[in-house]
Chains A and B, each alone.
Chain A
C-alpha cells in the first residue's frame, strides 16, 4: 500500500524561509511531485523529483532521498501569496501511467 505523511499546518513570516517535509512508503516508486493549492482552487504543479538530490526552480526547491523515503519543499523569500496548501504526491511504479497518490497537504500561513 501507500502512505504519505506531511505536517498538517505550518506558519512562517514574510521574507523568511520554510521547509515542508514529506515522508512516504509506497509499493514501487516512479517520482515525487509537489503541488500548490490555494483555497477553493485547483492544485498547480510546483516540482518533480525522480532522482536523489535537489531541484531548484526560482524561490522553490525540492529535495528527494529515495533510500529514506523522504522529500522536502523549500520556499525562500516568502510572500503573502504563498499562503496555501502544499501537497506531496507520489507516483507508484505500476501500470505505466501517471496516477498520483497525494498526501493530506500542509497548510502554510504566511504572516507579515
Chain B
C-alpha cells in the first residue's frame, strides 16, 4: 500500500508565477479531493473528482485555480499568477465508494501535502 503521494512536497515561488501540484491517489480509490490548509486551521475543501469528472468546486477556488484528473487516476492542481495569499499546504485525499469493511465509513486518506510559499 503506497498511500496517497503528492509532488512536490515544497514549492517556493515568486508572486505572479504559475505552479502545478500532482497527486497520485490510492490505486483502487475512485474519489479524489483537494483541500487547502493554513497554519492553525483545519483543511478547507477545494474540489472533488469522481473518476475523471470534477463534480464540485468550492467558492474558494478562484478562476486562477484549475484541477484536472484526465484519466481518473492522478490529478493536478494548477495555480496561475500566484499571490501571497495562496501560501498554504495543499492536501490531496482519496476515498473509495466500496461499502464493505472499513471502507464503508468513507474515510479520506490524505497525502503528505504540498507546501506552497509565495514570496
Query: Within the complex, what minimum Cβ distance (angstroms) separates B19 from chain A?
Result: 20
User: Does A45 contact B107, Cβ atoms closer than 8 Å?
Assistant: yes
Asked if A33 and B110 make an inter-chain contact with CB atoms under 8 angstroms apart, the answer reads no
Is the CB–CB distance between A95 and B55 below 8 Å? yes
Alpha-carbon distance A101/B58, docked complex (angstroms): 12
B113 to chain A minimum Cβ distance, whole angstroms, is 6
Question: Given A42-B111, A97-B48, are A102 and B43 neighbors across the interface (CB < 8 Å)?
Answer: yes
The 8 A CB mask of B48-60 against A (1 = contact, 0 = none) is 1010000110000
Contact at B113–A42, with CB atoms within 8 Å?
A: yes
Q: Cβ of A43 < 8 Å from any Cβ of B?
A: yes
Q: Are B56 and A44 in contact (CB under 8 A)?
A: no
Q: Assess the B48–A48 pair: CB atoms within 8 A.
A: no
Q: Would A101 and B31 count as touching, CB distance under 8 A?
A: no
The A interface, classified by DSSP as helix, strand, loop or mixed, is loop
| Count, chain A residues at interface, CB 8 A | 23
Residues A42 and B108 in contact in the complex (CB < 8 Å), given A97-B55, A99-B45, A103-B42: no
Give chain B's interface residue range (CB within 8 Å of chain A): 20 to 34
| A11 → chain B closest CB, angstroms | 16
A41 touches B112 (CB 8 A): yes
User: Min CB distance, A57 to chain B, in Å?
Assistant: 11
Give B82-115 as 1s and 0s: 1 = Cβ < 8 Å from A's Cβ atoms: 0000000001000101000000011111111100
Of B41, B43, B55, B106, which is within 8 A of A91 by CB? Answer: B106
Whether A100 lies near B108 (C-beta < 8 A) is yes
With beta carbons under 8 angstroms apart, the residue of B31, B43, B91 that contacts A97 is: B31
Bound complex: CA A43 to CA B42 (Å): 10
With A95-B55, A97-B31, A97-B48 known to touch, is A102 a contact of B110 (CB < 8 Å)?
no
Residues of B participating in the A interface, judged by any CB pair closer than 8 Å: 4, 31, 33, 35, 40-45, 48, 50, 55-56, 91, 95, 97, 105-113
Listed in ascending order, the chain A residues whose CB lies under 8 Å from chain B are 4, 8, 31, 33, 41-45, 48, 87, 89, 91, 95, 97-105
